């Protein structure tokens, strides 16, 4: 069933039927109702292919996931972010195009996305320190929203981000308040923008108490369980071990928990841990007293907000860039306690 058939059946022109269904005002309400009913009855939905060509829009948003050619690690937060974004798209009648792009041919991929007209806008995932994609997207004039930020960039742009700096400042501050003086940082890779902001927050908190950071208890790596385990274990087995950890992800923290236990310490007693928690559905920190003390911000909500922002930007391009900064919530659980006496 296509427009032609439907309008023939109704004895109306294609124009009228199209306008009736798209809510244009120059159509009689009685006619509109008649058209709507016929469309519902025959299960008519306009072909997106034709609609795209006619309108010049694709009603599709691209999510471009950079894949490092070296390690091929996938970010576990992706699904939650996409699910959040998807809710916004669904409401607006948009679709989600998912692309995994090797970081080597990102440039080509973005250009093709535009010239082939596959998307009306993109969400930029995993921004690095001075991310070249942002300049490229400006040049291509493709609407976009960044999940996160990229420091050291002259241009301004739309983003949704968590206040990573402040979150880690608070996490570190909490441990300092509890009397900890040797606090380790297990961070994500610091080529990633979010990781440098987290480190900055950590360092600032130490500095504000007149403490200096010790590189021996600061690690950065992919946020996997085994790397969290390895880093924590070697720090705990070294001289002058930390009494507390600030950890960049729940998955990493699980490795830390194991290392703590294996080295004969008790979590929340001998060793305190504060974790950044993206509130992933299958790692939900449940119970009346949650296991980990966390600084938490739902990545699913971030996805939703980023998608909504992008749709607005597409609808009417703003003169000023839109920016949303989310604050993480500090929840005290069982993994923190006063610093042990020496």
Partner DNA sequence: CCCGTCAGTCAAAGCGCTTTGAAATTATCT
Partner DNA sequence: AGATAATTTCAAAGCGCTTTGACTGACGGG
Give the residues lining the site for DNA (CB under 7 A).
2-4, 11-16, 18-19, 21-22, 26-29, 31, 44, 46-47, 49-51, 53-56
- Complex with a second copy: residue 132 or 261, whichever CB lies closer: 261
CB of 112 to a second copy, least distance (A): 6
Closest of 61, 44, 148, 149 to residue 97, by C-alpha: 61
58 binds, among DNA, a second copy, none (CB under 5 to 8 A by kind): a second copy
Q: Which of 155, 86, 92 has its CA nearest to residue 123?
A: 86
Residue 76, number of CB atoms within 10 A of its CB: 17
Shortest CB 46 distance to DNA, Å: 4
The three-state secondary structure class of 62 is strand
Nearer to DNA among residue 117 and residue 290 (C-beta) = 117
CA-CA distance, 59 to 78, in Å (whole number)?
A: 22
Could you tell me which stretch among 8-16, 251-259, 268-276, 320-328 binds a second copy (CB under 8 A)? 251-259
Element (H, E) at 326: strand 323-326
Neighbours of 74 (CB within 10 A): 12
In angstroms, the CA 267 to CA 273 distance is: 7
Which of 9, 31, 34, 78 lies at the binding interface for a second copy (CB under 8 A)? 78
**Residue 331: enclosing H or E segment and its boundaries?**
strand 329-331
Nearer residue to DNA within complex by CB, 10 or 213:
10
Choose, by CB under 8 A, the member of 97, 189, 216, 301 that binds a second copy: 97
Shortest separation between residue 79's beta carbon and a second copy, angstroms: 5
> Is 96 one of the binding residues for a second copy (CB under 8 A)?
yes
d(CA 13, CA 21): 13
User: Which of a second copy, DNA, none has residue 287 at its interface (CB below 5 to 8 Å by kind)?
Assistant: a second copy
Residue from 223, 211, 213, 205 nearest 276 by CA: 223
Read off φ and ψ for residue 297, nearest 5 degrees: -150, 125
Is 49 one of the binding residues for a second copy (CB under 8 A)? Answer: yes
* Sheet with 272-277, edge to edge strand ranges: 218-220, 183-187, 244-247, 272-277, 293-296, 329-331
Tokens of residue 20, six digits: 């009736």
Query: Smaller CB distance to a second copy: residue 118 or 181?
Result: 118
Nearest to 193 by CA among 172, 219, 163: 163
Q: How many residues bind a second copy (CB under 8 A)?
A: 60
> Six-digit token pair at 283?
């790692």
Cβ proximity to a second copy, 85 vs 328, nearer residue: 85
Q: What character string, x for contact with a second copy (CB under 8 A) and - otherwise, covers 207-246? A: ---------------xxxxx--------------------
Interaction between residue 329 and a second copy (CB under 8 A): no
Integer distance in angstroms from the first to the last C-alpha of the chain? 79
Measured CA to CA, the distance from residue 273 to residue 76 in angstroms comes to 21
45 binds a second copy (CB under 8 A): yes
| C-alpha to C-alpha distance for 166 and 313, rounded to whole angstroms | 28
Residue 48 makes contact with a second copy by CB under 8 A: yes
Which does residue 28 touch among a second copy, DNA, none (CB within 5 to 8 A, set by kind)? DNA
58 forms part of the interface with a second copy (CB under 8 A)? yes
Task: Catalog residues that contact a second copy under the rule CB under 8 A.
Answer: 1, 43-50, 52-53, 56, 58, 60, 63, 65, 67, 72-76, 78-80, 82-83, 86-87, 90, 95-100, 111-112, 115-118, 222-226, 251, 254, 257-258, 261, 280-287
């Amino acid at each position: 069933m296509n427009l032609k058939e439907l309008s023939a059946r109704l004895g109306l022109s294609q124009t009228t039927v199209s306008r009736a269904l798209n809510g244009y005002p120059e159509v009689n309400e009685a006619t509109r109702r008649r058209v709507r009913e016929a469309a519902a009855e025959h299960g008519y939905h306009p072909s997106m292919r034709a609609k795209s060509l006619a309108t010049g829009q694709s009603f599709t948003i691209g999510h471009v996931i950079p894949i490092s050619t070296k390690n091929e690690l996938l970010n576990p937060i992706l699904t939650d972010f996409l699910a959040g974004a998807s809710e916004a798209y669904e409401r607006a009648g948009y679709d989600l195009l998912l692309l995994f792009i090797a970081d080597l041919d990102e440039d080509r991929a973005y250009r093709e996305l535009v010239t082939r007209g596959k998307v009306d806008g993109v969400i930029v995932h995993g921004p690095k320190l001075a991310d070249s994609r942002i300049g490229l997207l400006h040049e291509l004039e493709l609407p976009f929203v960044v999940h996160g930020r990229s420091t050291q960039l002259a241009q301004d742009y739309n983003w949704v981000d968590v206040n990573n700096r402040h979150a880690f400042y608070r996490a570190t501050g909490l441990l300092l308040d509890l009397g900890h003086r040797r606090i380790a940082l297990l961070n994500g890779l610091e080529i990633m923008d979010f990781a440098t902001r987290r480190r900055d927050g950590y360092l600032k908190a130490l500095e504000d108490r007149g403490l200096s950071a010790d590189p021996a208890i600061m690690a950065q790596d992919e946020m996997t369980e085994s790397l969290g385990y390895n880093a924590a274990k070697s720090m705990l087995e070294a001289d002058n071990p930390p009494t507390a950890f600030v950890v960049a992800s729940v998955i990493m923290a699980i490795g830390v928990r194991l290392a703590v236990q294996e080295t004969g310490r008790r979590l929340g007693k001998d060793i305190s841990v504060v974790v950044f928690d993206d509130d992933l559905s299958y790692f939900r920190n449940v119970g009346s007293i949650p296991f980990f003390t966390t600084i938490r911000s739902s990545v699913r909500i971030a996805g939703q907000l980023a998608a909504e922002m992008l749709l607005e930007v597409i609808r009417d391009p703003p003169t000023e860039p839109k920016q949303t900064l989310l604050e993480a919530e500090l929840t005290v659980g069982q993994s923190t306690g006063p610093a042990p006496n020496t």
